[in-house]
Amino acid sequence: MVYLTRKAEFSASHYYHNPDFTPEENVRIFGKCNNPHGHGHNYTLEVTVKGAVDPKSGFVVDLKQLKEVMNREVLDAMDHRFLNKEVPEFANRIPTTENIAIAIWHRLAPKLKTAQLHRVRVYETPDLFVDFYGEA
C-alpha cells in the first residue's frame, strides 16, 4: 500500500450563520465569521489516495487523472466562489472547514477509479486545518 498526496489551492468567501439561532446567538457562536457579507480565505487542499502500486505503470494512481478530477469536482465549483450561495452543499449547511472537507470527500470519493480516497485535508489558513477520513 502506497499513499499519494496531491495539493491544490482555491480561494473562496463564506460566512457562518445558522437560521435556527437568534442574531445574538449567531454573533456569540460565530463571532466575526457571522458577517453576512462574507469574508474569504486562500484554502489549500491536500487529497491523499492509497492503493497498491500498479506493476505495469508504477503508479498508485494516474496523477493526471487525479488532478483532472480535483479540478472538475472541487476547484471549478469552489474556486473564486461565495460558498454559501454558489455551492449546493452549503445551501443548508454551514461552510466551516469541517464541512468543506466532508463535501470535498463526497465529491471525490465516487469519481476516483484505481486508488481509494484516504484523507481530505483542508487548510483554511496556515495555522488551521481539518482532516476527514470518511468516518461516520
- Is 84 a binder of other proteins (CB under 8 A)? no
24 binds other proteins (CB under 8 A): no
One-letter identity of residue 52: A
Residue pair 101/118 in contact by the 8 Å Cβ criterion: no
- Closest to other proteins by CB, 28 vs 72, is 28
Q: Yes or no: say if 77 and 9 are a contact pair by the CB < 8 Å rule.
A: no
Can 41 be counted among the known catalytic residues? Answer: no
Which of the residues 14, 17, 41, 124 is marked catalytic? 124
* Gap between the Cα atoms of 24 and 128, Å rounded: 26
Interacting residues with other proteins (CB under 8 A) = 16, 18, 20-21, 29-31, 93-99, 101-102, 126-133, 135-136
